[in-house]
Structure 1
């Protein structure tokens, strides 16, 4: 029995996760869902706790987790989001953020000409170190002399295991992105690990780009990338740029992975979108594609491919929500994708 922990979360999260779970049910893969409906902003505001120890234990006992969205405008501190997302990333050591991007339909591309080839790549982002590790502080706050420090953390183990994953999933090339010409200490470590991994994989073509050059090339020639591997903050930015080139944030799926244990937390990256919550207007594509990535990582490659094909066919036919050029509601868009599965 394969158990999936489901955290619908906040805002549009429950709406899009409902369509993802319905799609998974349609695949008939024998999945069982353990739904943690209480993990949301309402609970945090009432109790001050984002995740209890029991919640974490339930998630750990599952084979994978599917998350809708976390965030609520009533919560004015970062404690809630960090208490869910970052706690799970750190406690489960989900050190890889996997962001696969492919253009679903030509009409979604913001570029003028897609004849050179559409984007079809994976951004492999370090997920547990970097600037988001939370190390730093401030001195003399709220004065003209205020000093604020956020420390970027890079470790040999963290960089090496990320590069291992990037080479493992590469189809044609791995491009490592850093800013070692301006950030010398972390850059030196990344370059050392990069040289070692290139030596271990002589049959895989490789390329190195500085992050500013990588951003420009993503726009100029997005089809030239296969796997981009980079640190936490650069990966955050480049993966959102890539998502926009692939059709927008409403199509952007992600997985927070520990390739060593096999556990993953899968989520659409669009956030909770409180302005449209409850209106049946949210785009379910990113949640459904996150579910497809999850079942692929669980060993159901054919089922994942079928879901992706069904999503693409529905979007090409404009049987989708308005942000993708259609006129359907959330539930109608989910049903259209499942009809393509049939």
Structure 2
């Protein structure tokens, strides 16, 4: 039997509730497969931990997490803690510290999920965004001079390295080869305005495209991409974007697939030198915490991505099928999907269907 060590950081708000359902699905999947087992260690890091200790995570946190096979994160954020503190103190610290250079965001409309676009079917919305995840606009390079004076200056510098940009582009092209769709990669840029960083980005894309002549390529400015997501999402397959642009367009993509309750993601260390981290991206929603009304589908989809990363097992698609059955049946849905089910009831329903699909 293969055993995996999973570090679990439930975090804040609804993070605890949805994480419990993700772990429930992981354990159900493992029991049904019979040859794998997950050992969990829980960490109380997040905004509540910050309010008690002054740190979002243990100062020795990266050393503690290093030997785990993967990290499962619930949600981070609370109104009394500024967002830049919670982001840089935990999420970015792990992403950058473990060189999780790719943020992978599937944008797929499942049958039965609500879509705000009329006349768009599940087969029309099925693409994936490869977002650069450790540098770019979120590198944290800059500063403030002359604070609180009339001449106050704020500087924020984006960082793009050839080594990392090549790696992200190569991953996107290889992913397009594996997907059974158009075998196309769309380069998301803004090189007309950002005449150094994005011109460099485009140059690396063109260079890498020469190594993948079998892949269709196109380049769209990020503002055009937001328009095309609404007008013609069916034309996309794999998109590669910088940290900031990828962050923005994937939330719009989440709206296309039914809302943030469906938004799963993986932060991947491609070299597997460090653990990768998997998280739904719906946020902590503190106003919903403790009410068992949060939609756990994003977390359940996230643990499916975790399994894909660890096992490369095609049976993980049964998890997506189980979610789809729940959506089509319409009886066990949370309030955001116009249902009355509790968070744990959705998790239970997915597990019951998994038992039938994998039994």
SS at 1:268's partner residue?
coil
TM-score, reference length from structure 1: 0.95
- Aligned residue in 1 for 2:345: 332
- Aligned residue in 2 for 1:22: 24
Is the aligned partner of 1:154 residue 2:156? no
Is the aligned partner of 1:251 residue 2:257? no
Aligned ranges 1:156-305 → 2 under 5 Å: 156-170=162-176, 171=179, 172-261=183-272, 263-305=275-317
Alpha-carbon offset, residue 312 of structure 1: 1.3
- Aligned residue in 1 for 2:11: 9
Alpha-carbon offset, residue 188 of structure 1: 2.0
- Aligned residue in 1 for 2:333: 320
Of residues 152-161 and 271-280 in structure 1, the stretch that sits farther from structure 2 once superposed is 152-161
Q: Supply the RMSD in Å over aligned alpha carbons.
A: 1.6
The gaps in structure 2 that reach 5 residues or longer are none
The gaps in structure 1 that reach 5 residues or longer are none
Partner Cα separation in structure 2 for residue 243 and residue 77 of structure 1? 21
Alpha-carbon offset, residue 303 of structure 1: 3.2
Confirm or deny: 8 A CA contact 2:102 2:133 kept in the other structure: yes
Aligned ranges 1:98-113 → 2 under 5 Å: 98-106=104-112, 108-113=114-119
TM-score, reference length from structure 2: 0.91
Count, aligned residues: 342
Confirm or deny: 8 A CA contact 1:3 1:33 kept in the other structure: yes
- Aligned residue in 2 for 1:67: 73
SS at 1:201's partner residue?
coil
Among 48, 55, 70, the residue aligned to 1:42: 48
SS at 1:128's partner residue?
coil
Alpha-carbon offset, residue 140 of structure 1: 2.8
Alpha-carbon offset, residue 113 of structure 1: 1.1
Aligned ranges 1:134-153 → 2 under 5 Å: 134-153=140-159
Partner Cα separation in structure 2 for residue 74 and residue 15 of structure 1? 21
Confirm or deny: 8 A CA contact 2:7 2:41 kept in the other structure: yes
SS at 1:290's partner residue?
helix
